[in-house]
């Protein structure tokens, strides 16, 4: 095995998934390392004046996985326990995700080890601006294009864009995506990941012949992805019976008041304080009996044990990497009971609309929201059909079929371009 700085359970998981896919695709061993290991990684120290007068140094990262199809693309995560192995795994998954959707990008991911919820607004702005400033030598609209991920949002993207633009001496909107619409963002980007999850969950329900109207849904995570998925599935007539975030968990078999939850979230930023009577055990959420289960929080929440306890019919992976390879092995045996929509397919709505935003910024020609949504659903539906068809044809899991479609596109591009020099 290669000596590498990319260690830890999340990278190990991305590696195992890749090896299983490479076995299925019959990729020779010597081509595997070239496909798996990131091309470049940057680690920066981010000194920030804190409100109490101290100077604190935060650690920031950016990993660019491969450069074979165009610029790299991916989100920026602000989380206290962030480490480079996790960032690299997320970058690798972005590559397969972009290739599966047919976007002209390699994968990237970055972030800062910090707790954004404990920073003041001024400190958050300072961390964001300094992070982008440290990254200036390594990013660019044709090199690497950032976006939001856990712990960041449109405001942080606006600060990134402004910092880069100040350095260039001109407004460069196409340096990041997921910006507010007021400064070069696209209509529909904010809701795109959740809407895409709901769209594919609806297609999966169609496949297994269960009506969506009145279907029950449980959602872990109520940030951007979880909350918009709840909203969209509620609009489709489904009943959201359980939701949780890092502050609270609520359940009601009759269906939770989704508009009420969204209003509470808009006012308080978290679920805590919504209700006393409906409080439920967060550890029981994933095992809720429901038609659609949406993990939309962290990685590795569905291991083998949890996979055995799942009581859903559709597993719609809104988060990146929620299911471990051991969990996958169990889901493989339960293939006839549980329809899995793997993460790189299920949550690809975000990066797909990011791509639309980048294209619009480059052309300075902006689309209507129905246009954005129409193109989004079209791309996602095509990728969905491809994955389901391939899995059935080759008797492999939806995850392997999705990964294989992404991996082989990158493999083929690398083979055709050759090795330089
Ligand atoms: N962070 C999101 C993801 O994991 C979006 C990335 C992007 O829009 O570039 O897919």
- The residue whose two tokens read 């029981």 is 284
Domains and CATH numbers, the chain: 9-175 (3.40.50.10860), 192-348 (3.40.50.720)
Separation of 277 CA from ligand 1 center, angstroms?
A: 36
For residue 421, the model assigns a pLDDT of 79
Residue nearest to ligand 1 atom 7, measured at CA: 351
Ligand 1 in reach of 265 Cβ (< 6 A):
no
Q: Looking at ligand 1, which atom is closest to the CA of residue 73? A: 9
Residue nearest to ligand 1 atom 8, measured at CA: 351
Q: Which of 107, 139, 149, 191 to mutate to test the pocket of ligand 1 (most atoms within 8 A of CB)?
A: 149
DSSP string, 205-237: HHHTT--STT-EEEEE--SHHHHHHHHHHHHTT
**Euclidean distance between CA atoms 101 and 233, whole angstroms:** 23
Q: Looking at ligand 1, which atom is closest to the CA of residue 74? A: 9
Sequence-distant (≥ 6) Cβ neighbours of residue 344 within 8 angstroms: 93, 96, 97, 100, 402, 403, 406
Ligand 1 in reach of 75 Cβ (< 6 A):
yes
Omega within 30 of 0 (cis) for the link into 421: yes
Separation of 127 CA from ligand 1 center, angstroms?
A: 20
Give the per-residue SS3 of 291-346. Answer: CEEEECCCCCCECHHHHHHCECCEEECCCCCCECHHHHHHHHHCCCCCEEECHHHH
- Which residues carry out catalysis? 109
Q: Looking at ligand 1, which atom is closest to the CA of residue 353? A: 8
**Euclidean distance between CA atoms 243 and 54, whole angstroms:** 39
**Euclidean distance between CA atoms 76 and 54, whole angstroms:** 25
Separation of 104 CA from ligand 1 center, angstroms?
A: 14
Separation of 191 CA from ligand 1 center, angstroms?
A: 12
For residue 1, the model assigns a pLDDT of 63
Separation of 150 CA from ligand 1 center, angstroms?
A: 10
For residue 82, the model assigns a pLDDT of 97
What global pTM score does this model have?
A: 0.97
Ligand 1 in reach of 248 Cβ (< 6 A):
no
**Is the Cα torsion angle 145, 151, 152, 153 positive or negative in sign?**
positive
Residue nearest to ligand 1 atom 9, measured at CA: 74
Asked whether the beta carbons of 191 and 198 are under 8 A apart, the reply is: no
pLDDT in tens, the chain (421 residues): 678 999 999 999 999 999 999 999 999 998 999 999 999 999 999 999 999 999 999 999 999 999 999 999 999 999 999 999 999 999 999 999 999 999 999 999 999 999 999 999 999 999 999 999 999 999 999 999 999 999 999 999 999 999 999 999 999 999 999 999 999 999 999 999 999 999 999 999 999 999 999 999 999 999 999 999 999 999 999 999 999 999 999 999 999 999 999 999 999 999 999 999 999 999 999 999 999 999 999 999 999 999 999 999 999 999 999 999 999 999 999 999 999 999 999 999 999 999 999 999 999 999 999 999 999 999 999 999 999 999 999 999 999 999 999 999 999 999 999 988 7
Q: Looking at ligand 1, which atom is closest to the CA of residue 75? A: 1
73 SS3 class:
strand
Separation of 388 CA from ligand 1 center, angstroms?
A: 23
Ligand 1 in reach of 191 Cβ (< 6 A):
no
**Euclidean distance between CA atoms 338 and 110, whole angstroms:** 33
């Amino acid at each position: 095995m290669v000596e590498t700085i990319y260690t830890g359970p999340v990278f190990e998981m991305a590696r195992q998934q890749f090896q299983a896919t490479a076995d299925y695709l019959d990729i020779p061993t010597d081509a595997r390392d070239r496909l798996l290991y990131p091309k470049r990684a940057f680690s920066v120290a981010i000194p920030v004046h804190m409100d109490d007068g101290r100077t604190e140094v935060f650690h920031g990262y950016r990993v660019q996985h491969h450069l074979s199809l165009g610029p790299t693309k991916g989100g920026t995560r602000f989380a206290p326990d962030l480490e480079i192995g996790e960032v690299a795994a997320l970058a690798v998954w972005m590559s397969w995700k972009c290739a599966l959707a047919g976007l002209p990008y390699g994968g990237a991911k970055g972030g800062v080890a910090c707790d954004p919820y404990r920073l003041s607004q001024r400190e958050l702005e300072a961390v964001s601006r300094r992070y982008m400033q440290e990254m200036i030598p390594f990013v660019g609209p044709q090199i690497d294009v950032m976006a939001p991920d856990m712990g960041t949002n449109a405001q942080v993207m606006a600060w990134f864009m402004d910092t880069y633009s100040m350095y260039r001496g001109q407004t460069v909107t196409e340096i990041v995506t997921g910006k507010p619409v007021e400064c070069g963002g696209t209509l529909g980007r904010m809701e795109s990941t959740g809407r895409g999850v709901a769209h594919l969950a609806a297609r999966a329900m169609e496949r297994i012949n269960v009506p969506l109207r009145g279907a029950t849904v449980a959602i872990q995570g109520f940030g951007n992805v979880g909350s918009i998925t709840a909203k969209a599935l509620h609009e489709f007539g489904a009943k959201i019976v359980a939701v949780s975030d890092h502050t609270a968990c609520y359940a009601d078999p009759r269906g939770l008041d989704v508009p009420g939850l969204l209003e509470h979230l808009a006012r308080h930023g978290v679920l805590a304080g919504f209700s006393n009577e409906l409080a439920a055990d967060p550890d029981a959420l994933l095992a809720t009996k429901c038609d659609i289960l949406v993990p939309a929080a962290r990685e590795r929440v569905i291991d083998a044990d949890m996979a055995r306890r799942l009581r859903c019919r559709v597993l719609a992976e809104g988060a990146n990497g929620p299911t471990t390879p051991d969990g996958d092995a169990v889901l493989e045996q339960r293939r006839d009971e549980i329809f899995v929509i793997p993460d790189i397919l299920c949550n690809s709505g975000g990066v797909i609309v990011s791509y639309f935003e980048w294209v619009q910024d480059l052309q300075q020609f902006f689309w209507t929201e129905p246009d954005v949504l129409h193109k989004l659903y079209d791309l996602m539906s095509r990728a969905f059909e491809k994955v389901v068809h391939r899995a059935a044809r080759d008797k492999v899991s939806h995850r392997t079929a999705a990964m294989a479609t992404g991996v082989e596109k990158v493999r083929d591009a690398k083979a055709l371009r050759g090795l330089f020099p």
